[in-house]
């Protein structure tokens, strides 16, 4: 299963040269670049861990690429995402967001269907792997 989030998500993974070209595109428009990572790519997980503060004043693509590479090295089994923010209207708006790294093995998701009153049907998307909380509890219990 391939997680598809952000721009270019249905294309093959971007090469380092293509990543640099997208960073140059964002910086050329005056957008700030942020780097985030997570081990939980659930579509509703909008709170990824920030690698550092967004690179508001960085105008050198090489500096951004160095930060991307450092995040990839530090978190080799995480998803790493680059987002570009536009603040020209007085608030930060995400203009571009794309994955620059995927773990070797991507998690699977389960779709749970629940019937309710009348003809109401509810769907819940769950990660097929154990959550962080479940893993921590299993370690505590020794299971």
pTM higher than 0.85, yes or no? no
Other Cβ atoms less than 10 A from the Cβ of 95: the count is 15
Other Cβ atoms less than 10 A from the Cβ of 3: the count is 16
Every domain of the chain and the residues it spans:
16-101, 109-141
| pLDDT band (50, 70, 90) for residue 143 | low
The torsion of the CA quartet 18, 95, 39, 5, rounded to 10 degrees, works out to -80
Q: Does domain 16-101 have CATH number 3.30.190.10?
A: yes
pLDDT at residue 139 greater than cutoff 70: no
**Contact in structure between 122 and 112 (CB atoms under 8 Å):** no
**Tens of pLDDT along 15-74?**
999 999 999 999 999 999 999 999 888 777 778 999 998 898 899 999 999 999 999 999
């Amino acid at each position: 299963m391939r997680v598809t989030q952000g721009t270019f998500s249905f294309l093959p993974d971007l090469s380092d040269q293509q990543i640099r070209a997208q960073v140059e595109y964002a910086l050329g428009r005056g957008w700030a670049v942020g780097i985030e990572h997570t081990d939980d790519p659930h579509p509703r997980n909008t709170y990824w861990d920030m690698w550092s503060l967004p690179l508001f004043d960085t105008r050198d693509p090489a500096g951004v690429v160095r930060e991307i590479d450092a995040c990839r090295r530090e978190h080799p089994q995480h998803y790493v995402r680059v987002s570009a923010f536009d603040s020209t209207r007085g608030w930060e708006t995400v203009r571009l967001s794309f994955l620059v790294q995927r773990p070797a093995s991507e998690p699977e998701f389960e779709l749970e269907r629940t019937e309710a009153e009348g003809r109401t049907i509810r769907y819940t998307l769950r990660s097929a792997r154990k959550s962080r909380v479940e893993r921590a509890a299993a370690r505590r219990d020794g299971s």
